[in-house]
Structure 1
């Protein structure tokens, strides 16, 4: 009897082990199949990873470069996973983005990054050097940017002191030119869908570079709007039509850009919405101050007193135009770039912003008159700004006359 039980027990254990081995091998084969499909897709998309600009990296090379992904080399953490600084044997510094095993993002997001960024070349976009798929590791290798991301400067008391107005204006312009390239001038027409301060990296000269294309979408040349059931992005930067109805277009990126501009000018973070109600009143507060003729009061005090007031006001004006609730009233990036570079382009008054809260914008009695010089500059700016738009049209966009106030 004991012998029979021992035999049965041994067979049960053996069968269990075989089952476990089989399931593990099936799981491994499934991952291998996914990787092969990923590689085949890259080939189908004609992604060039054989040039000196972009290539496949060996896992051992990246382990050596990052000291086996040590915490000392960790630059930050995001939805994708961790980012590490590394140094290749030739002395080149790199940034390695490592997909976390528990990340909700996978091969599709990594494929987006590889295909889109490898094909996009612009001074205001981060440069992809290559990637690595080995031993369940999914790694992306980028140029290393020593000044980290914009949010580290903008929302940090010490960092923002290094952002004088000249640096901020250069960042505002650079982001606009990068977006214009994505929307209209690149080989692909790309909607970023996750534009925010932490996805703007800064090089040694504080030039901005748009990064993180994991949520980006390819947009057809003749498309004006697309829909998705997967709402992904960051609250506070998502346009209302995208957050509530899944509708995205170049104008949803324009909304995110407008929020960024207002954050850069004020040094305040837009906290987003909770239950479709504003959790932070940055945009509403700027709109309220604009209507009261006191927008300059919201300028980040850490900029100092030496700044071109009319240029700051123009940036606030453009930011408010970009966050208007109606996407058809927002400027395209071609016009936004023109607005920044040409003061002969007159601007319309901004209409109601997205997620507008009437209670936060009730005109209050003047408890304080504010700085008389600031109010004088604002009145002069408003008097000099015509309420009629220049006869401009956006490439592949609506006629700019459609932006006229109702």
Structure 2
């Protein structure tokens, strides 16, 4: 990750000026009311701090480096750092070995690597090619040469131990680079980087000839051919496995659940242990009028959802995996595996699935009142949600999450709790849906990390967005956002204009500190609410969205807080992601709501964890 991308946010404007003497960085602050400062920590990390008036302390907004490989020369001379190989992130280049073997075994790689065989200029040397590398420090430019010319020049110079063709658009006169000393700070970069050619003794490559060039058949073609052969064999094996995998018969053993014979009636679609009904494609086509547009209920990342009626008159909702889905087979498998093993009144019930003729569908009980967001964010529908009903929905969601975290046969972290994933049945009972992003935890497991951050901005916790860490407290954060949205009928990702750049969480926090929390309340329920009950719920919501996961309550505590009017609650601390750019919300129903509002971008610039 470059410093440019690291500092690309809404608080700081960064300018980079290059010259022959080095790179100069200057920055300015957009919001003069926010106090910022740069510091260098004891460990050498560059940190951007901001002053939090509420706790009268400097808090870390951004820190660099984020990973060990971003620390300079982590692997020492001639070592290659690859964060994907954690915890053993360092390895020696071909032809090199650890300088101190004992240190490497103890994961102290700072001593780097040394050559197995000394170089003897011209006699038996070849160049080893490394792809997608962050180039070593202290390069020497050789001019605007082609890759072939660059290799020839390096080969003629005995002091040249490595070369690269940087292909830099901003400095075309220095595209050919070479190195004459130790190669330091070499990092494998899967997303970018350049090819690096390193001079080694020819005996290090089996079958190599003397004086080979990087393009030679022995040093380059043979490894490529071997790699291609392995990839081809792997691809064929994967293809055969996938073909077996998508067969309904083989899904049974793979998912750890069994599928009953195809059925035509949803009345039979009850779960029995880990058995799940397999519906025939013909029955689903008949129920949905061949997926008619008039039957379409909506569309999400998984694909379109259709309403249908089975031959016995039972209504169903069909989630159909789209070819262009943002999700896919992994999420489909995940949802079938998890929800087949879960049963709770506040979880949507899976009736079965259909896997036939390349079609993959999940069949659920139909929720006639659709999703919670359709009511909350529609001015004409929210009036039907009086305070008693909203509190009933809040309690039901909390009970459903508590079941997932503590009382189900599996410990489940949902990871995508939001208003659109809370469905309402005919009696307005809330049911949590969409388990495509959910993950199972071990009995004693408290936290996990992922390299693929998924979810909805505005509902994701800070530790998940920034570091890929998720736990029960990630769902607690999402529940807190939901609770405050239910009370205010405002979206967290967008807020009416104020003098400060605040999210809904930040706005709720400011009102709470100023003893004006009831101003957060939706006007339509002021007459039907119990003020003390509303204030208690706002306080619980703020406790849930605190910046640090350890400070947030568990779902067990939250359910207890909601059911106990007399207990004393702790004071909430500053929420995570409380600042944002001001945006405008247009009034009207949910379908006409402006979608131009910016998301919370103060401390996040991508959905890849640092």
TM-score (norm 2): 0.52
Q: 1:229 is matched with which residue?
A: 451
Question: Residues 147, 284 of structure 1: CA spacing in aligned structure 2 closer, same or farther, 3 A cutoff?
Answer: same
In structure 2, how many angstroms separate the alpha carbons of the residues matched to 1:230 and 1:39?
30
Do 1:258 and 1:322's aligned partners in 2 also have CA atoms closer than 8 Å?
Answer: yes
Q: Which has the higher strand share?
A: 2
Question: Residues 27, 181 of structure 1: CA spacing in aligned structure 2 closer, same or farther, 3 A cutoff?
Answer: closer
1:47 partnered with 2:257 = yes
| Aligned pairs for 1:7-406 within 5 A | 31-36=242-247, 40=250, 42-50=252-260, 52-53=269-270, 54-271=276-493, 281-357=503-579
Could you tell me how far 1:216 is from its partner in structure 2? 0.3
Q: Which has the larger radius of gyration?
A: 2
Aligned length: 331
Question: Residues 229, 28 of structure 1: CA spacing in aligned structure 2 closer, same or farther, 3 A cutoff?
Answer: closer
Do 1:124 and 1:208's aligned partners in 2 also have CA atoms closer than 8 Å?
Answer: yes
Could you tell me how far 1:224 is from its partner in structure 2? 1.1
Do 1:242 and 1:248's aligned partners in 2 also have CA atoms closer than 8 Å?
Answer: yes
Could you tell me how far 1:307 is from its partner in structure 2? 1.3
In structure 1, how many angstroms separate the alpha carbons of the residues matched to 2:353 and 2:501?
38
Question: Residues 176, 216 of structure 1: CA spacing in aligned structure 2 closer, same or farther, 3 A cutoff?
Answer: same
In structure 2, how many angstroms separate the alpha carbons of the residues matched to 1:44 and 1:34?
8
Question: Residues 152, 235 of structure 1: CA spacing in aligned structure 2 closer, same or farther, 3 A cutoff?
Answer: same
Q: Summarize deviations over 1:252-277 as a string: whole Å, max 9, x none.
A: 0000000000000000011179xxxx
Could you tell me how far 1:30 is from its partner in structure 2? 6.7
Could you tell me how far 1:108 is from its partner in structure 2? 1.1
Could you tell me how far 1:280 is from its partner in structure 2? 5.7
Could you tell me how far 1:44 is from its partner in structure 2? 4.7
Question: Residues 331, 42 of structure 1: CA spacing in aligned structure 2 closer, same or farther, 3 A cutoff?
Answer: farther
The unaligned stretches of length 5 or more in structure 2 are 1-235, 261-267, 271-275, 583-610
Do 1:176 and 1:337's aligned partners in 2 also have CA atoms closer than 8 Å?
Answer: yes
Do 1:124 and 1:177's aligned partners in 2 also have CA atoms closer than 8 Å?
Answer: yes
SS at 2:380 equivalent = helix
CA-atom RMSD, angstroms? Answer: 2.3
Q: Summarize deviations over 1:69-105 as a string: whole Å, max 9, x none.
A: 0000000010001000000001000000001111132
SS at 1:242 equivalent = helix
Could you tell me how far 1:33 is from its partner in structure 2? 3.0
In structure 1, how many angstroms separate the alpha carbons of the residues matched to 2:503 and 2:269?
47
Q: Which has the higher helix share?
A: 1
Q: Summarize deviations over 1:89-130 as a string: whole Å, max 9, x none.
A: 010000000011111322110111111111100000000000
Q: Summarize deviations over 1:138-191 as a string: whole Å, max 9, x none.
A: 100000010000000000011111111011000000000000000000000000
Do 2:413 and 2:439's aligned partners in 1 also have CA atoms closer than 8 Å?
Answer: yes
Could you tell me how far 1:39 is from its partner in structure 2? 5.6
In structure 2, how many angstroms separate the alpha carbons of the residues matched to 1:174 and 1:326?
25
In structure 1, how many angstroms separate the alpha carbons of the residues matched to 2:488 and 2:302?
29
Could you tell me how far 1:314 is from its partner in structure 2? 0.5
TM-score (norm 1): 0.78
Could you tell me how far 1:31 is from its partner in structure 2? 5.0
In structure 2, how many angstroms separate the alpha carbons of the residues matched to 1:153 and 1:314?
23
In structure 2, how many angstroms separate the alpha carbons of the residues matched to 1:110 and 1:283?
33
Could you tell me how far 1:32 is from its partner in structure 2? 2.4
In structure 1, how many angstroms separate the alpha carbons of the residues matched to 2:355 and 2:502?
41
More relative contact order in 1 or in 2 (CA 8 Å, sep 6+)? 1
The unaligned stretches of length 5 or more in structure 1 are 1-24, 361-406
Do 1:80 and 1:98's aligned partners in 2 also have CA atoms closer than 8 Å?
Answer: yes
In structure 2, how many angstroms separate the alpha carbons of the residues matched to 1:209 and 1:300?
23
